[in-house]
Structure 1
Amino acid sequence: MTRGRALVVGASHAGAQLAASLRQEGWSGEVVVIGDESALPYQRPPLSKGYLAGTSTLDELAIRRAEFYDKHEIQLLRATVTKIDRAAGRVVLSDGETLAYDGLGLCTGGRVRQLSVLGVDLPGVFYLRTFADVESIREAALPGRRAVIVGGGYIGLETAASLRALGLEVTVLEAADRVLARVTAREVSSFYERVHRDAGVEIRTGAVVEAMAGDHVVRSVVLSDGEHVPADLVIVGVGLVPNTELAAEAGLQVEDGVVIDDLARTSDPQIVAAGDCAINHMARYGRLVRLESVPSAGEQAKTAAATLCGRERPISALPWFWSDQYDLKLQIAGVNTGYDEIVLNGDPTRDRDFSCYYLQHGRLLAADCVNRPRDFVMAKQMISQGIDVERAELEASVGS
């Protein structure tokens, strides 16, 4: 099937790639991307980096320019899908209009995890997911003001670096005993805590938020021990919730994500899914994995497009990620879940470049490479090809 109408729900990285790939795969009928934001599909990772710091514009964040969609006859429809009627092969929009489909792609992404504490609705408390969120934050982020960031994950730390560049006083509150606790080894966490403290950021670990306090705007963040941390603005970054409600209500299989197979098919073979909302079984890790990763979203979307066009192109690429903070580029190859040993190349207590390799039973699972692009490329190759590697080889690798 390469004719008829293909609907893509979600103008995300995955959605934009799925639409483009449908044309590349030969879909000759209508292609409609449905999104609820006013902007062209744009890159989200730079929101907490260059866009917040004011060094990039929304036009520069566009994944593709308007001319691309015009040239390839891809319609961008600003609307919200409220229901999928699988039996009738159509979706229902919020205004009651219905659109029939011959192929359907779910690229609904995710939404910020809400913090459930008293006072979180006070003016001056922000989340960071969309360009509109960042524009609101930038209006409040005046030099000399006190910003408190709730959450010491990548988004929180990237935001901290950007706000320091804007001249704000920044405090990061992390409930765990270290930043990046869920995703990195303790040595990598300690490195980033050192870097941020050297840049003037106050890092508070073991800091459990109980409430936000203020009058007509937020004035402080209240911790579980009763301490008030002064704040002129608060940014909450405590994770992402996949948008799976549409799929679940339509009877598709959902488990912390819309379940897809290696061809990006959901439990309905006429419907594919890709991106932050999708979860699939990865043989490399022996379990279901949902990846919040732009490269993975793109790979899944390409596979999804091939599937809708009747071709088989299984998802196979190794997951990889990145984070930019100050002058540091962290590149992550693979997923480190289940590691039982690490190998360090370089000294994270002193250097500003090093690599941390994650092993399980002597097998390389993943690598965190800080300002070490050669190590990153090498690690991707070794993990992808299942190359046996000796500890001494990792310790001796030259990364810059």
Structure 2
Amino acid sequence: MRIVIVGGGQAAASMAARLRAKGHAGPLTVIGDEPAAPYQRPPLSKAYLLGRMDIDRLTLRAPEWWRDQEIALHLSETALSIDAVGRVVTTDRGTHGYDALALTTGASPRRLPASMGGDLPGTHVIRNLADVDALAPQLHEGRRLVVIGGGYIGLEAAAVARKSGLKVTLIEAAPRILGRVAAAQTADLIRALHQAHGVTILEGTGISRITGEDRVDGVALTDGQQIDADLVIMGIGVLPETGLAATAGLHLDNGIATDLHGRTSDPSIWAAGDCASTPWQGGRLRLESVGGAIDMAECVADNMLGYARDYVPKAWFWSDQFDAKLQIAGLNTGHDQVVERAGQGDHAASVWYYRQGALIAVDALNDVRAYMIGKRLIEGGISPDPATLATVPDLRALLA
């Protein structure tokens, strides 16, 4: 069986490794449009941007591993279209026939439109190596940075820039930062962390446009303010890469729609990672996380080989900001109650989410014990009484 994987990220690397580990001995091809072999993305906006991690440490597999596993790794090659009837992928370098095809095309960062200055020199996004390699030389002490967007990517970029000595202003159009992904209590903790390090945060403030002639010189706000800037980072979310899937006529719904096995509307085409959505609680779920990419890719690899295993999302995330680590277990969607616990040390606390009396997620800032115990409780389907959770001196008692 000829298997082709399109996409050169974490999901592609995990899927290829799983296929070989599970005994697939046939032709296996990975097609990626970047010049670098599959690498870790989370450190890009953290250690790599700070210059504390080089490309060799980012890379997921050494060159000899791909060779030893007899995996044809095609880099700097862009897939253009899929002939689902003939089972052929056409790229800018040729064609690849397949018996089974997996799409791990990931997601692309949103930009403000050109009419709002989103294409001016000095504007940046953070998604891949090229983005960060273009941004890193611009982070000089004393320069003025405006970050647009108060999600995790924007906040991480703000933290790195501030640590590099820049004057940083973060602008969020919604009433508060982390509005889509976290409770107000978690947002309060992260806001206090950033303000303690000198980041200016403007919430409930819209962008009129990024200003400048030949390059960025500021950001005009809808309330009439003008924020001077030497560079701008747009952290306003991502969109799943579905263009290639569309050429094959695949069903799209919050990404490339798959069934519980990771199979798309074409029985010979599969999808995994940030580009794919899976059935979940009567709707569709698309996880943008390393853990989700690995778990789904491995499940799809198994199912390509006939295991018929349902993919069960296991949500866990993390975010490093300044010297603090935010760890998240579970999905807080639809929560109706929140319990906050103080932790030990600076900026340490945990936020616990309940839905109809069931514990569904926990955010733990500088509190590894809360994260580990919360994760075990959620995975075990154990929901301590919220009042007990709020007052118990030692969280370990909840595991008893």
TM bracket, shorter-chain basis: over 0.9
User: Which residue is 1:332 aligned to?
Assistant: 328
The aligned residue for residue 201 of structure 2 is: 203
Does residue 309 (structure 1) correspond to residue 310 (structure 2)? The answer is no
The alignment status of 1:371 with 2:366, answered yes or no, reads yes
Q: Within 1, Cα distance between the matches of 2:37 and 2:244? A: 23
In the alignment, structure 1 residue 299 sits paired with structure 2 residue 299? no
CA distance in structure 2 between the aligned counterparts of 1:365 and 1:298, rounded to whole angstroms: 21
More deviation, 317-326/140-149: 317-326
How far, CA to CA, are the matches of 1:64 and 1:74 in structure 2? 12
Number of matched residues?
393
Q: Distance in 2 between the 1:389 and 1:61 partners?
A: 39
What is the CA deviation profile of residues 85-105 of structure 1, one whole-angstrom value per residue up to 9, with x for unaligned ones?
11111111124x211001111
Q: Which residue of 2 aligns with 1:391?
A: 386
1:317, distance to aligned residue in structure 2 (A): 4.6
* Structure 2 counterpart of 1:391, one-letter code: P
Following superposition, the deviation at residue 215 of structure 1 comes to 2.5
Pick from 127, 130, 133: which aligns with 2:128?
130
Gap regions ≥5 residues in structure 2: none
CA 1:399–1:370 in structure 2 vs 1: closer, same or farther (change >3 Å)? farther
Distance 2:24 2:203 in 1: 51
> C-alpha distance in 1, partners of 2:118/2:6?
30
Question: One-letter code of the match for 2:357?
Answer: G
Residues 1:28 and 1:390: Cα distance change in structure 2 (over 3 Å)? same
Structure 1 counterpart of 2:61:
64
Task: Tell me which residue corresponds to 1:115.
Answer: 112
TM-score under structure 2 length normalisation: 0.95
Q: State the distance in 2 between where 1:233 and 1:203 align.
A: 16
Q: Which amino acid in the other structure matches residue 189 of structure 2?
A: F
1:291 partner SS: coil
Alignment of 1:169-318 (within 5 A): 169-282=167-280, 285-318=281-314
Identity %: 43
TM-aligned CA distance change 1:291 to 1:317, over 3 Å: closer
Residues 228-268 of structure 1: per-residue CA shift (max 9 Å, x gap): 10000101010000001221231211101111122111122
Residue 37 of structure 1 pairs with residue 16 of structure 2: no
Unpaired runs of at least 5, structure 1: none
Rounded Cα–Cα distance in structure 2 between residues aligned with 1:378 and 1:329:
16
Moved more, 291-300 or 203-212: 203-212
Match of 2:354 in 1: 359
Give 2:69's aligned amino acid: H
Q: Distance in 2 between matches of 1:7 and 1:119?
A: 39
Distance 1:196 1:308 in 2: 45
CA distance in 2, matches of 1:175, 1:244: 27
The 2-side partners of 1:326 and 1:335 are apart by 24
Q: Does the 8 Å CA contact 1:336/1:358 hold for their aligned counterparts?
A: yes
What is the RMSD computed on CA atoms of the aligned residues? Answer: 1.6
Which stretch of the first structure deviates more once superposed, 390-399 or 378-387? 390-399
1:164-194: CA deviation from partner (whole Å, max 9, x where unpaired) = 1111111101111111111111111111111
